[in-house]
Amino acid sequence: MRVRGLRKRYGGATAVDGLDLTVHRGEVFAVLGPNGAGKTTTMEILEGYRRRDGGEVTVLGVDPQQAGLTWRYRIGVVLQNIDDGRELTVAETVGHFARYYPNSYEPAEVIERVGLTAKAKARIRTLSGGQRRRLDVAVGIVGRPELLFLDEPTTGFDPQARRQFWDLVRHLAADGTTILLTTHHLEEAEALADRVAVLAQGRIVACGEVATLGGRAGADATVHWLDGDHRRSERTADPAALVARLTASHGGSVPGLSVTRPSLEDIYLELIS
């Protein structure tokens, strides 16, 4: 996937402002950013659902604005909000969408993979929010996509369901599926993504591996320790040297010693501020 100079405006407001992005085949790529940063608009343009105002976009070798049915067979989409087919059962819904694709997964297999086997005969209107979101994911993957778009996929999931979904994403990635996801859960991006881009005001302000994003790997560490009854801390570029000095001054182990570097959340908040 290759994006260069992508632009989109709504009236006088700029939603996407000259965005450049490359996603490699087979990787899990996460897009982070606050509400209104341009994440969903960008996803919809890449999916072929929204026309851009400027720039060049190539997805699976095709411009989504010009793409036909054969291209659409190759992608899967999980949108932020879907509200249709409330009287259909889970099995009927997944089976219905499976028939759109020439090489779909077996519907029962997909229902099991998203953890809805016990609800296969339940009507959609009876599902909880988290269960409905799992069904959205099932519909998105049933066509065996080469590229899967996930827009806030775990909204409404409890912690256990979120971890199960992460396992599903890892399984799809291991099978060679390219995955582009947006999420507000930073731990989700850290757990799943090979690379991350941070959007702010329609622009990418940082892009790279989670461990090095925004200079995270080389950022100063903070050393914490107890000095009598007082908790002390010091930021340093060389935590090993500081720990050695503290160890020497204490004549051995340092009470309450810990060393931390900026978390992904710390870096993210700096980037969007």
Give the whole-number percent of the chain exceeding pLDDT 90: 65
- Pairs from 100-103 (Cβ < 8 Å, separation ≥ 24): 100/143, 101/73, 101/142, 101/143, 101/144, 102/73, 103/73, 103/143, 103/144
Q: What is the pLDDT of residues 167-196, one digit of tens each?
A: 888 988 998 999 999 998 899 999 999 999
Q: What is the pLDDT of residues 204-259, one digit of tens each?
A: 999 999 888 887 777 888 899 998 888 999 989 888 999 999 999 989 999 999 98
Q: How confident is the model at residue 84 (pLDDT cuts 50, 70, 90)?
A: low
Q: What is the pLDDT of residues 98-117, one digit of tens each?
A: 999 999 999 999 999 888 99
**How many Å apart are CA 152 and CA 2, to the nearest integer?**
22
**How many Å apart are CA 221 and CA 235, to the nearest integer?**
6
Do residues 64 and 135 make contact, with C-beta atoms less than 8 angstroms apart?
no
Q: What is the pLDDT of residue 82?
A: 58
- Pairing relation of β-strands 195-200 and 54-58? unpaired
Amino acid, res. 117: T
Give me the residue spans of the domains in the chain: 1-74+145-154+167-208, 81-144, 221-262
Closest CA to 152 of 174, 180, 182: 182
* Mean pLDDT along residues 43-60: 96
Q: Does 137 score more than 80 pLDDT?
A: yes
Q: How confident is the model at residue 130 (pLDDT cuts 50, 70, 90)?
A: confident
Residue with tokens 């296969």: 120
Fold of 1-74+145-154+167-208: Rossmann fold (3.40.50)
pTM of the model: 0.83
